[in-house]
Amino acid sequence: MTATTHQQEEIRAELESLREALRVSEERHRAILETAVNAIITIDEQGIIQSVNTSTEKLFGFTKVEMLGKNISMLMPTPYREQHDNYLENYRKTGERKVIGIGREVVAQRKDGSVFPVDLSIGEVLLPQGRIFTGIIRDISDRKELEQKILEISEEEQQRIGQDIHDDLCQQLAAIGCLAKVAHQRLKQTDSEEADGLSDIVRLITHANTRAREMSRGLVPVVLDSDGLMAALGELAVGTEKIFRITCRFWCDQPVHVRDNKTAVQLYRIAQEAVGNAIKHSNADRIEILLTASEGNIHLCIRDNGNGITDHVPGKGTGMGLLTMTHRAKMLGGQLTVSPVSIGGTQVLCVIPMPANISKVTNW
Ligand SMILES: Nc1ncnc2c1ncn2[C@@H]1O[C@H](COP(=O)(O)OP(=O)(O)OP(=O)(O)O)[C@@H](O)[C@H]1O
Ligand SMILES: [Mg+2]
């Protein structure tokens, strides 16, 4: 064997082992993709599906053959399906990212037409042949259902406690108040010195009863008709002024009718927590609650003139308020933002679609 032939043999062997290594690596990657619990999809710049794993088939009910080469919008419900091409084009032109590299909750659609919430994270890779996007999709229907249940249970529990306070404690306080009043009148008739002391007790019992009633009112907000939210927020402002001796105003330039009672109660709870936070944490002497409707959305804004919020990452720390307010807004298909006010203080803004147009989660 000549030297050259020997070298050629070596190169051939090396190439062969490289090919083998590449094949093993490819197989390993394919196995990882295929066994992944989440759906993993790659698309090209035009939104055409290049690859899907087995979990994608299970999640959406389409076979690989039905998905490969089709537009990714086939996995989205209307109106996102129609908007997605424009979104990709806009991204190509401007580089503006709405979901790429960020990840968010969106809605997806199965082959049978059913719509479900998913957690979507998208990565972008630049290859010599062009750009591809990889999407990892996780079904979060169970989590969403659980979140909804937890909110409903906490709502029911609050209402139960509120009713118990109203029906039991308030009645008992009223009865004790009546007895004390009668005893006071009797003592007065006998010119007893104890009469003044009993008059103080009557006053304190009446005050305690009023407070208990206010508490039960807060726990069972009366938002039974479409104007109920405005009335309940008005009462929240009046009650806050009275109890905490600060200025608290409710503004609603144009009437905002919220026909869905559950939505109205959730909005009330958001306002209640934001007002409570302003009182507890901000040292404010003025709180404003604003309710407006525009472009198919309801805006609920709670603003204080306190010392401002420094750290407002929901769920950080032991507090639950910011976290539950954010959850409530999301469950209504909207968003909650907490931001500092330029002249000092904090603003909590909740924007949700009008109940008739509510879609639970946002666009892809
Ligand atoms: N209006 C506000 N002004 C100043 N700081 C605020 C305001 N609202 C919230 N914060 C800050 O954000 C933190 C988190 O608020 P959050 O409502 O989540 O919890 P919390 O009020 O401390 O407890 P919880 O609501 O569970 O009773 C507060 O501890 C406070 O430091
Ligand atoms: Mg709080």
Q: Is the pLDDT assigned to residue 360 strictly greater than 50?
A: no
Average pLDDT, the chain: 87
Question: Closest residue (by CA) to atom 24 of ligand 1?
Answer: 319
Strands (E), the chain: 39-44, 49-52, 104-109, 115-127, 130-139, 247-251, 286-294, 297-304, 335-340, 346-353
Q: Quote the distance between the C-alpha of residue 61 and its chain's center.
A: 29
pLDDT the model gives residue 285? 94
Task: Among 270, 277, 312, name the best residue to mutate to test ligand 1's pocket (greatest count of ligand atoms within 8 A of Cβ).
Answer: 277
- For atom 6 of ligand 1, the residue with the nearest CA is 309
Query: Residue with structure tokens 């910011």?
Result: 322
Mean pLDDT, residues 97-109: 81
Whether 36-139 shares its CATH topology with 225-364 is answered: no
Reduced to 3 DSSP states, what percent helix, strand and coil does the chain have, rounded to the nearest 5?
A: 50, 20, 25
Please list every protein residue whose CB sits less than 6 Å from any atom of ligand 1. 277-278, 280-282, 304, 306, 309, 312, 317, 319-322, 346
What would the pLDDT profile of 247-301 be if each residue is shown by its tens digit?
A: 999 999 899 988 888 899 889 989 999 999 999 899 999 999 999 998 889 999 9
pLDDT at 33: 83
- In this predicted structure, the answer to whether residue 312 has a pLDDT above a threshold of 70 is no
Which of 3.30.420.40, 3.30.450.20, 3.90.550.10, 3.90.730.10 is the CATH number of 36-139? Answer: 3.30.450.20
* Per-residue pLDDT at 238 exceeds 60: yes
The winner for highest mean pLDDT among 83-97, 117-131, 219-233 is 117-131
Pocket-testing residue among 287, 288, 309, ligand 1, by greatest number of atoms within 8 A of Cβ:
309
Cα of 284 from ligand 1 centre, angstroms: 13
Q: Which has the higher per-residue pLDDT, 311 or 55?
A: 55
* Ligand 1 atom with the shortest distance to the CA of 317: 14
Question: Can you tell me the mean pLDDT for 218-233?
Answer: 77
Ligand 2 centroid – CA 211 distance (Å): 21
The alpha carbon of 150 and the centre of ligand 1 are apart by a number of angstroms equal to: 21
CB 340 within 8 A of CB 347: yes
- Quick one: what percent of the chain has pLDDT higher than 90? 44
Mean pLDDT to the nearest integer, 56-65: 97
State yes or no: pLDDT of 72 exceeds 80. Answer: yes
SS3 264: helix
Residue ranges per domain, the chain?
36-139, 141-220, 225-364
Closest CA to 207 of 182, 164, 242: 242
Task: Write the CA distances from 288 to 234, 247, 250, 279, integer angstroms.
Answer: 11, 8, 6, 12
Residues 234, 250: contact at Cβ < 8 Å?
yes
- Whether the predicted pLDDT of 362 surpasses 50: no
At 316, the pLDDT band (50, 70, 90 cuts) reads low
Query: 60 pLDDT exceeds 90?
Result: yes
Strand order in the sheet with 115-127: 49-52, 39-44, 130-139, 115-127, 104-109
Q: Which two tokens stand for residue 51?
A: 């690859």
Q: Which CATH class is domain 225-364?
A: alpha beta
From residue 242, alpha-carbon distances to 142, 185, 214, 233, 340 in Å are 43, 30, 11, 14, 26
* pLDDT tens readout for residues 121-169: 999 888 888 889 999 999 999 998 898 888 889 888 888 898 888 878 9
